Amino acid sequence: MEINSQYHRMRDWRRALHQVPEFGFDTKKTAAFVIEKLRSFGLDNITGDVGGNGVVATLKRGTSRKAIAIRADMDALMIEEKTNLEYRSTIPGIMHACGHDGHTATLLGIAETLTKNDYFDGVIHFIFQPAEEWGKGAQAMIDDGLMQKFPFEEIWGFHNMPGMPIGNFETRPGPIMSAEDNFEIQLIGIGGHASKPQVGKETMLPACSLIMALQTIVSRRIDPTDIAVVSVTELITDGSRNILPGLSRILGDARSFRNEVSLAIENEMTVITAGIASTHGLDYSINYTREFIPLINNDKLAEHAIKVGQKVFGPERAKLANQPVTGSEDFARFLDHVPGCYVFFGNGENSAPLHNSSYDFNDDALEHGVNYFVNLVQSRFKP
């Protein structure tokens, strides 16, 4: 392969980004890097500061008004990198442990190829988004007028998948990634001496009953054909070894693939908590928040994505994913407005898991992402 090939350029971009990871909405340097590269391709329709440090670059060709969008995420994670790579993170406590450095480099490669070739007739918006890991960046771009300023009819997104071989591809129609809800329940009573439990209204024993009872939501209240998870992950009290607690806090995380299921989990949680609090004469509060909504692929676009995948990767390597993933993605927010499809590219069988301190995006995946999306764009603009 020639030394100045696009593969080498993308690899260099990816490694440069890996060295200076940025967290959440604070992706200023990454956005500046993206804008500089886009300009170097000859793209001049570039808008920065969309929803914070988001970037939108628009490429118009021919006369068709049909517009599509392709989105990559730019943010890193608060994890101390534990690799010995020569291009490892130079920022203490922050690393690209989800491969968003690779996603950004892939979308730059797609933009470069499409800018330098005459492959389609229409409009493409390349969207570079901050704060995916928080689940806030997509909505921030939408709230900043993304859909009005850069209107598009459909949107495409992607993520690398550790464990899946390089050059492999998966997606599925319908639910592909779950909603994530967080909750905190407080049981409030009167603490007191461990030797006189009859005097106060302690909260520890009721909290334990409540934790057990919360497990009946999935097993007794949700339709068995729906996927749902209710995980209590923390029990924190103000008690001590000889002090019965007057306050118990129960924290956790719930996953589901339909809004109705998420609402049912919250509703059942309220009924069960009210019942147990009343039994023990306690006050209670529930804070239930929806961090990520479920990511539901459009059926037709997903079928189309698989067809393109089979053409690019071959039928053996482009597969229909059997099951959705119980991870979450804020790409789902765009799908509140337009149909879209989210796909996975293999990051290699030996890849460390996502959000792991030894993880690294596999540079061999870059060209597969570009190859796939260039073919996809051509197919979407066919007359």
Phi, psi of 61, deg, nearest 5: -140, 140
Alpha-carbon gap, residue 369 to 184, rounded angstroms: 40
Nearest distance in Å: CB 363, Zn ion: 17
Residues with Cβ within 8 Å of residue 219, at least 6 apart in sequence: none
Considering only residues 97 to 136 of the shown chain, the ones binding Zn ion according to CB under 5 A are 98
CB-wise, 54 or 122, nearer to Zn ion? Answer: 54
Residues with Cβ within 8 Å of residue 3, at least 6 apart in sequence: none
162, amino acid identity: P
Nearest distance in Å: CB 77, Zn ion: 6
End-to-end CA distance of the chain: 35
CB-wise, 301 or 325, nearer to Zn ion? Answer: 325
Using alpha carbons, list the distances in angstroms from residue 268 to 75, 82, 218, 379.
35, 42, 10, 46
Q: Choosing from 73, 75, 202, 268, which is the catalytic residue?
A: 75
CB-wise, 284 or 292, nearer to Zn ion? Answer: 292
Query: Encoding tokens for residue 216?
Result: 């009946």
* 172 within 8 A of 341, measured Cβ to Cβ: no
217 sits near Zn ion (criterion: CB under 5 A): no
Considering only residues 82 to 101 of the shown chain, the ones binding Zn ion according to CB under 5 A are 98
Q: How long, in residues, is the chain?
A: 383
Query: Encoding tokens for residue 262?
Result: 């998420």
Among 274, 321, 345, which Cα is nearest to 109's?
345
Sketch the per residue contact string, 197 through 216, with Zn ion: x for CB under 5 A, - otherwise: --------------------
Phi, psi of 144, deg, nearest 5: -85, 10
Query: Which residue has tokens 């129960």?
Result: 250
CB-wise, 98 or 272, nearer to Zn ion? Answer: 98
CB atoms under 10 Å from CB of 94, counted, come to 21
Nearest distance in Å: CB 178, Zn ion: 14
* 372 within 8 A of 313, measured Cβ to Cβ: yes
Nearest distance in Å: CB 99, Zn ion: 6
CB-wise, 168 or 347, nearer to Zn ion? Answer: 347
Size of the site for Zn ion (CB under 5 A): 1
253 noted as active-site residue: no
CB atoms under 10 Å from CB of 195, counted, come to 8
Alpha-carbon gap, residue 2 to 12, rounded angstroms: 14
154 noted as active-site residue: no
Nearest distance in Å: CB 354, Zn ion: 6
CB-wise, 162 or 245, nearer to Zn ion? Answer: 162
Residues with Cβ within 8 Å of residue 332, at least 6 apart in sequence: 138, 177, 179, 292, 293, 294, 295, 296
CB-wise, 43 or 98, nearer to Zn ion? Answer: 98
Nearest distance in Å: CB 30, Zn ion: 14
Alpha-carbon gap, residue 155 to 340, rounded angstroms: 5
Sketch the per residue contact string, 45 through 84, with Zn ion: x for CB under 5 A, - otherwise: ----------------------------------------
Q: Choosing from 132, 133, 360, 367, which is the catalytic residue?
A: 132
Considering only residues 283 to 312 of the shown chain, the ones binding Zn ion according to CB under 5 A are none
Query: Encoding tokens for residue 140?
Result: 């921030």
Nearest distance in Å: CB 100, Zn ion: 6
Give the residue numbers marked as catalytic: 75, 132
Write out the residues near Zn ion by the rule CB under 5 A: 98
